[in-house]
Amino acid sequence: MERTGQHFTLGNHTTLVEFILIGFSDVPNLQGFLFAIFLIIYIVILTGNSLIIMITNIDPSLQIPMYYFLRNFSFLEICYVSVTVPRLLADLCRQNRSISFLACAFQMYFFVTLGATECFILTAMAYDRYVAICNPLLYPVIMNHRLCMQLAAACWITGILVPIGLIYKIFSSHFCKSNELNHFFCDVPPVVQPVCGDTFMIEMLIYVIATIVVAVPFVLILASYGKIISTILKLPSATGRAKAFSTCSSHLMVVSLFFGSANIVYMEPKSTHSTGVDKYFSLFYTILIPMFNPIIYCLRNKDVMVALGKFLQFIQGSTKKQIVP
Q: What is the average per-residue pLDDT within 35-51?
A: 94
Per-residue confidence (pLDDT) for residue 12, from 0 to 100: 41
Residue 149 forms part of a structural domain: yes
Per mean pLDDT, which range of 199-208, 243-252, 272-281 is the poorest?
Answer: 272-281
Domain for residue 194, yes or no? yes
Per the domain annotation, does 291 fall within a domain? yes
Q: Which residue has the higher pLDDT, 240 or 9?
A: 240
Q: Which pLDDT tens digit goes with each residue over 83-133?
A: 999 999 999 998 888 999 899 999 999 999 999 999 999 999 999 999 999
Cα Rg for the chain, rounded, in angstroms?
A: 22
**pLDDT for 236:** 82
Q: Which residues of 168-180 are buried (b: 16+ CB within 10 A; e: fewer)?
A: ebbbebebeeebb
Tell me whether residue 321 is in a domain. no
How long, in residues, is the chain? 325
Residue 28's pLDDT band (boundaries 50, 70, 90)? confident
What gap in Å lies between CA 274 and CA 135, rounded to an integer?
46
Mean pLDDT over residues 274-282, rounded?
A: 70
Please give the mean pLDDT across all residues of the chain: 84
Q: Largest Cα–Cα distance in the chain?
A: 78
In a domain, 10, yes or no: no
Nearest to 67 by CA among 90, 87, 43, 51: 51
User: What pLDDT does 286 receive?
Assistant: 87
**Mean pLDDT score, 247-256:** 80
- Quote the CA–CA distance of 113 and 83 in Å, as a whole number: 11
Q: How many domains does the chain have?
A: 1
**Cβ–Cβ under 8 Å, residues 191 and 160:** no
C-beta contacts of 34-38 below 8 A and 24+ residues apart:
34/92, 35/89, 35/92, 35/93, 38/85, 38/88, 38/89, 38/92, 38/287
Strand partners of residue 16: 7
The pLDDT of residue 299 is above 80: no
Reference 230, options 133, 325, 110; nearest CA is 133
Residue 124 lies in a domain: yes
The pLDDT score that the predictor gives to residue 325 is: 54
CATH of residue 140? 1.20.1070.10
- pLDDT level of residue 149 (50, 70, 90 thresholds): very high
pLDDT at 242: 79
- 303, burial (CB in 10 Å: exposed 0-12, middle 13-18, buried 19+): middle
Q: What is the DSSP letter of 94?
A: -
Whether 280 is covered by a domain: the verdict is: yes
* Predicted local distance difference test score (pLDDT) of residue 130: 93
> For 229-251, how does the pLDDT look when each residue is reduced to its tens digit (9 = 90+)?
898 888 887 777 777 777 787 78
- Residue 211 DSSP label: I
Enclosing domain of residue 221: 20-316
In a domain, 15, yes or no: no
Mean pLDDT, residues 172-195: 88
